[in-house]
Amino acid sequence: MAKFELKLPKMGESVAEATITTWLKEVGDTIELDDAVVEIATDKVDSEVPSEVEGVLLEKLFDVDDVVQVGQVIAVIETEGEGAIESTPQETTAKVEETPKEAEVLETQIAETVVAGNATDFSESSKFYSPLVKNIATTENVSLNELEAISGTGKDGRVTKNDILQFVDDRKNGKIKTQPVKEEIKAKPEATPAKKQEVAKAAPVVASGEDEIIEMTRMGKLIAHHMVESVQTSAHVQSFIEADVTNIWNWRKKVKGDFMKREGENLTFTPIFMEAVAKALKDFPMMNISISGDTIIKKKNINLGMAAALPDGNLIVPVIKNADQLNLVGMTKAVNDLANRARNNALKPDDIQGGTYTVTNVGTFGSIMGTPIINQPQVGILALGAIRKVPAVIETPEGDFIGIRYKMFLSHSYDHRVVNGALGGQFVQRVKDYLEAWDVNREF
């Protein structure tokens, strides 16, 4: 019998480890192709690890609550094969005689696989695919665009073996047109980082008998780790600017009732702000980047991360994909949908992947400004302060006078390794300009 090593697959560009939460199969259980073997959790979302082979679970290498690195072997599955079976002399002779033909067939298959492999680069996708689905896609020369277009029937919309096989069958029968494969130039591999200096350990804290000791949650530990890691990675710099949003305040007050009647959605300030940020990112594409070693990756799509509260008090950052292509109605629906599903713990793995820039609303808690920590591997994050009624100088052709205006602070944190003060300041200034130029007669 042969043995197959089940490894923890890549779950996203910023996910390096996961915690084992539940084993769905026990030692001795029979496993089918694409069966879920174990449930895992990252600091962002929970998911399952499927099997790409049929067999029997032979060994579990980690226990519940263990932390596993991406690529580590988590289980061993025993499969039917020739890995440890001795062949009879007759069988050996027959195989030797067939070797030349089999070698030719094997070479042809390898050549076809290499060609197909060039057409499917899974590292460019933010979605999770099981190893089995990837193998089928490679063998059948299914491009990444085609794979992402398949509507998955698995948990959280995951593409299963049957989904991709049905797609391949439909394509062969002419029901689906083959998409041309575009050859893309890959970014240079990330250079091996220099060994980080050891961080001095904090002095131990002694608890008295009256103090309550509370164990941090799994997600709390992971978030704490990533926050410290982000500060150690990026050179954080902040720029602050105040924006007059009186026109937005009055416009929303005027139309929110009609908006609810027509669209069935509550119009908050968040989608309005997200629209302005998406426009500014289009104007300043070098804010829509990430760093890989000594190279800069300029993102084609504008995918806005939106910090949202979870029931346990933690924050998660679901992503609005292609935010610059949405009108205000579409943005409102996307914001409300992600916020509601975050509160109900119903986000899918794809919902929290692929972000290129993040917005967080610290004004929800009454804060007028903040210094948010960058969500790696992005290079910027914008904090929206609370909207306040304040006395302000109003300039008119007849002269200046004091009036009551609705104002807020925009706090922009950016990575000074690649974003200088001019770019960081111009970007947040552009967001302010879009907000202050709001048309009070705008139709939705």
Kindly report, residue by residue over 7-19, the tens digit of the pLDDT. Answer: 988 766 567 788 8
pLDDT at 122: 65
Angle between helices 161-172 and 131-139 (to 10 degrees): 10
Q: Is 71 exposed, middle or buried (0-12, 13-18, 19+ CB in 10 A)?
A: exposed
pLDDT in tens, 221-270: 888 888 999 999 999 999 999 999 999 999 999 999 999 999 999 999 99
Residues 6+ apart with CB under 8 A from 262: none
Determine the Cα–Cα distance for residues 265 and 262; give it in Å rounded to an integer.
8
pLDDT score for 131: 65
pLDDT in tens, 291-341: 988 999 999 999 999 998 777 777 889 999 999 999 999 999 999 999 999
Q: What residue ranges of the chain have pLDDT lower than 70?
A: 11-14, 43-45, 81-126, 131, 155-156, 177-203
State the pTM of this model.
0.63
- What pLDDT is attached to residue 90? 39
pLDDT of residue 200: 56
Phi, psi torsion values for 380, nearest 5 degrees? -160, 155
